[in-house]
Amino acid sequence: AAQALRDKLEPDRMRNAPERAVFTVVRHPGGWAVEYLGEITDASPDKEVAKAAANRKARVAQDAGQPCLVRVFGEHGFFNAA
């Protein structure tokens, strides 16, 4: 009975959850960059530098109370359609 109640309430909790800020590390001419809300920033020839920049931006947003997600193009099954 308790599980049925949780299953019933779960969609409401997800629907009311604040939207996440999604910072995506993407390929960019000359290397990698961070994409957020359609804007490309923090371009670097080094993918790790771009990932660090995305994580810094996410930390700032998270510290301000915004849920965040950092995605990296080509890792963990995330690919752009060609």
- Helices of type H across 1-82: 2-16, 47-63
pLDDT in tens, 18-33: 789 999 999 989 899 9
Burial 14-41 (b: 16+ CB within 10 A, else e): eeeeeeebebbbbebeeebbbbbeeeee
| Number of residues in the chain | 82
Distance CA 82, CA 63 (A): 35
pLDDT of 79 higher than 60: no
**How far, in whole angstroms, is CA 46 from its chain's centroid?**
19
Q: What is the mean pLDDT of residues 31-40?
A: 96
pTM of the model as a whole = 0.70
The whole-number average pLDDT for the span 51-72 is 95
Asked if the model's pLDDT at residue 81 lies above 90, the reply is: no
